[in-house]
Chains A and B, each alone.
Chain A
């Protein structure tokens, strides 16, 4: 306000009123208008879109049917801006009682930073029992659990098996075979993979999947070492090979034409039309794709490793979780809801609606009649790890990987530059 120095009397008069108004505006933002008391009523915020059936909504409705005296206020939010809405509402103190969060620290809705900020309520044993093995640290610090995992998301390839059958060649078994298949396919005007080069979540997933066997299968504790500063991306041979593999695949013609500029719509289109055989997208997408093209079969597969099937390694973890808002006034009702969600029937229903694997009872799961039959062995033999970026220091590291892989596709960057940028983002 320094530019107002001249007419003093007037200035004071003009400034006083709005300042008072503004101060009352900003002051005391703590009062909450949530429905008071321990009533049998609570609210639930989740991300959704009209294009798929929401398991969050379906189960909430089922809960209300089962317990007619309980009312859940549903606050669905568009996918795109979910993180920002939830953070703003948490900060302002009027977020819903139950929120959908994400284990780890990779995104705006991640549990660890939200716990740090004091926004989440620790959960009880039923939630702890559902934490997938190896993911404990992603659900909260000091052994506490702040999220209830409703499903296991397998992140590998989703392949159009109808289209694979039509090519009369089997899906490649190892990385060399994969590269060999790319050339002939691209001569037919097809491609082995569809990549959304302009969408950094997709290029990032491509980079991470190449790192599964090259880094994480061999060194499961790589992320911890990176946190401790013992290793860096740029110095790790596995990471170098992973990103060099992107360039190898590009040069072999593994990606669809114009892949560097494609978006998710391009990937969907290529898979559904059969012009591309597989894409680097989370397993539950098989259900969305199926609903777009019902006459085709979409299966979850693993990206072939350099050493063949015996060395294959995949990512599987809980990507989403239910959490309770620490500022909630309806914790009792919310906790009861989460207890109910943790029951096997509900986790089973949730996974079925979403097209994912259930968080419990995998030993008895009917893999053969699901989209996951090709990865059953990996899951049952425990040859999987959580998505590595959920343990990375901040969201920028993954963003650098995503935009860096696009740079590899366009030839703007070299693997070394990308890895150095990721290190810089980690250390910022």
Chain B
């Protein structure tokens, strides 16, 4: 049995191990007994058969200091009228009331969800297809993988600027449209009230596809080639093989790619700032771009902080749902 095929049946591992362990233990009684004392204590208290609880301590401490303390202090200002500098007054829930009374926030929320779910869905589908297509046999797969990964490597500033070129009024898309006699369709894509959100979505998807591909590639390494071959010999077609062999093994990768994608997608702001700045006239504004503008550009840190907390709650909501969905494995 290979290590990779191991992971596919891990759900039934534990009871089997308990048995083999007691059966084999008699072979080296002395050594096992010597280890048992602290082991048992550790297992009872920390639920750990392997590793020590304190291995997690540096990680927890650092995350606590960098994330919880710092953000907690910053989050406190959501209840103040702090401008970002100088003195402030505690104003209670006023900033939150202002958010919920502002109709433009609904549009920003809509855009936020549209960009996040749109880019995650499209990026993951394309990433999965690419990972599958490039998984085996194709001779130039290394070169191709690197090529498809290149957009991810590009800095957000360069990505935005290149796409601005492409969507520019005098850019290649409009040149092409004019050349084929469809000049009436030419428009300033990034400043068109109807089209701007779609152009932004294209760019977000373009730059996230390669990363989804990498996660799926990592996940595909756990698909045992023997099982797939056996299924193929048994006459399973491509779709069946995907559904019964590949997809179950990919489940962890899907969970990771979706969770990270949605969390990142809901708060993505620098590509949007660089592409449209939230324009035209707010048509591509998201909660994340508004947080940035309020807290840093417009000197309303309190309002921006309140909005950031609202956004965090929204992200948490979707992340938890997402964790539940991908975890609800039928075999569990």
Contact = CB atoms under 8 A, between A and B. Distances in A.
A160 interface: no
A18 B61 contact: yes
Nearest to B296: A84
Interface string B281-313: 111000000000100111110000000000000
B85 A90 contact: yes
B298 A399 contact: yes
Nearest to B161: A265
Given A197-B280, A395-B299, A260 B85 contact: no
A25 B84 CA distance: 20
Contacts of A10: 45-46
A404 B280 CA distance: 9
B85 A406 contact: no
A412 B85 contact: no
A308 interface: no
B96 to A, nearest CB: 15
Q: Of B61, B70, B87, which is in contact with the most chain A CB atoms at under 10 Å from its CB?
A: B61
B191 A26 contact: no
Contact of A108 (B70, B191, B281, B299): B299
A411 B69 CA distance: 46
A116 B167 CA distance: 44
B93 to A, nearest CB: 16
B91 to A, nearest CB: 12
A395 B188 CA distance: 28
Interface residues of A, number: 50
B59 to A, nearest CB: 10
Contact of B191 (A19, A396, A406): A406
Given A17-B61, A412-B193, A395 B280 contact: no
Interface in A114-129: 114, 116-119
B198 interface: no
Contacts of B296: 83-84, 108
Contacts of A260: 188, 191, 280
Contact of B65 (A22, A199, A262): A22
Contact of B86 (A1, A118, A198, A266): A118
B3 to A, nearest CB: 33
Contact of A410 (B189, B277, B281): B281
Q: Which of A116, A258, A259, A399 has the most CB of B within 10 A?
A: A258
A113 B82 CA distance: 12
B153 interface: no
A91 B77 CA distance: 14
A258 B281 contact: no
Q: Which of B46, B84, B187, B281 has the most CB of A within 10 A?
A: B281
A425 to B, nearest CB: 9
A266 B168 contact: yes
Contact of A412 (B46, B190, B278, B280): B280
Contacts of B282: 403, 407
B188 to A, nearest CB: 3
B40 to A, nearest CB: 17
B75 interface: no
B168 A117 contact: no
B281 A18 contact: no
Interface string A74-99: 00000000011001001100000000
Nearest to A424: B102
A412 B300 contact: no
B281 A26 contact: no
A186 to B, nearest CB: 14
A153 B124 CA distance: 51
A1 B281 CA distance: 40
A413 interface: yes
A184 interface: no
A15 B169 CA distance: 56
A410 B86 contact: no
Interface residues of B, number: 44
A112 to B, nearest CB: 11
B64 A18 contact: yes
Given A399-B293, A410-B192, A198 B276 contact: yes
B281 A198 contact: no
A370 B164 CA distance: 35
Contacts of A409: 191, 280
B65 A263 contact: no
Contacts of B138: none
Contacts of A198: 190-191, 276-277, 279-280
Interface in A274-309: none
B49 interface: no
A113 B170 contact: no
B57 interface: yes
B280 A25 contact: no
A200 interface: yes
B233 interface: no
Nearest to B187: A258
Interface in A370-428: 394-396, 399, 403-404, 406-407, 409-413, 428
B83 interface: yes
A22 B84 contact: no
B86 A117 contact: yes
B283 A200 contact: no
B86 A258 contact: no
A339 to B, nearest CB: 27
A117 B280 contact: no
Contacts of A116: 86
A166 interface: no
Contacts of A141: none
A255 to B, nearest CB: 11
Contacts of A257: 169-170
The 3 closest A-B pairs by CB, nearest first: A258-B169, A117-B86, A261-B191
Interface of A: 1, 10, 14-15, 17-19, 21-23, 25-26, 83-84, 87, 90-91, 108, 113-114, 116-119, 197-200, 257-263, 266, 394-396, 399, 403-404, 406-407, 409-413, 428
26 contacts: A10-B46, A14-B60, A17-B61, A18-B61, A18-B64, A19-B69, A21-B65, A108-B297, A113-B83, A113-B85, A113-B299, A114-B85, A198-B190, A200-B277, A258-B188, A259-B188, A260-B191, A260-B280, A262-B169, A394-B299, A403-B282, A409-B280, A410-B193, A412-B280, A413-B281, A428-B300
Interface of B: 45-46, 57, 60-62, 64-65, 68-70, 73, 83-87, 98, 164, 167-170, 187-193, 276-283, 293, 296-300
